[in-house]
Structure 1
């Protein structure tokens, strides 16, 4: 059983670079993944006109594998970056990790 867990963070594109800069500086992370996603919601009042027509909003999705012992430290530094642009997140345990060759 691994002591690692996966934090998935959904953020607005305008703070993507700030999150990247923050994560790169953390010694306990070996890396992370970043991708673009389309977010659908029943709360269209937060969407601009283009997003209302398309039916979705563009976000970035971070996947951050980290030691469970560093969870609070990771959330604390991300909270500072996300304080003016709330980000949704969830954390999942990782049962196994490795490299296939």
Structure 2
């Protein structure tokens, strides 16, 4: 039975700190990962001139492992931060996890 999920959130860099602050406040999370990514899209109209020349836009990517039963609480907390800066996300089940020593 699946008990944990992985939420991947792609956000604009200008709200990264607000998302970090929100996630740190959630007691049901033990932690999360954050990295920089380059986003490519066929919709260049959203890109500024520099991004159009480079062909990509810089974003931050959060990976948040969370209990299945906390999905709605997590999405609700993130929705407050992302309401003025829409963020793309997806959720996948975690079939197995552990620590390799």
Bin for the TM-score computed over the shorter chain: over 0.9
Separation of aligned partners in 2, 1:91 and 1:11: 15
Match of 1:38 in 2: 38
Q: Does 1:65 align with 2:70?
A: no
How many residue pairs end up in the alignment? 101
Match of 1:19 in 2: 19
TM-score by length of 2: 0.98
Unaligned runs of 5+ in 1: none
SS of structure 2 residue aligned to 1:74: helix
Match of 1:95 in 2: 95
Separation of aligned partners in 1, 2:100 and 2:54: 40
Distance apart, 1:73 and its partner CA? 0.3
Distance apart, 1:2 and its partner CA? 4.2
Structure 1 residue runs of 4 or more that deviate by more than 2 Å after TM superposition: none
The question of whether the paired residues in 2 share the 8 Å contact of 1:35 and 1:60 is answered with yes
Once superposed, what is the RMSD of the aligned Cα atoms? 0.6
Distance apart, 1:76 and its partner CA? 0.2
TM-score by length of 1: 0.98
